[in-house]
Amino acid sequence: GKMAQDMTEKELLKMELDQLKKEVKNERQMVSKTGKEIKEYIESMAGEAPLLKGVPEDKNPFKEKGGCTIS
């Protein structure tokens, strides 16, 4: 399709309206409920997260293979 800067105001408004028509169908839930669920999910997965538990040296693909010595 066209880039947004090449569109007329009418085309932009139609695009926005189409987007809102899609979004209005989304089921909504209270943040107080979903926030708690998200927190529980994150905590349950934390044991598997390499950024939290680290990566064993032998499994790290980014580990320096060897050094260089300047003499």
Q: Report the percent of the chain where pLDDT is more than 90.
A: 52
Residue 1 has pLDDT above 70, yes or no: no
Ordered structural domains, the chain, with CATH: 4-59 (4.10.260.10)
Q: ∠60-62-68 over CA atoms, to 5°?
A: 120
- The per-residue pLDDT for range 30-60, each reduced to its tens digit, is 999 999 999 999 999 988 888 888 888 888 8
For the chain, list the strands marked E by DSSP: none
**pLDDT band at 18; cut points 50, 70, 90:** very high
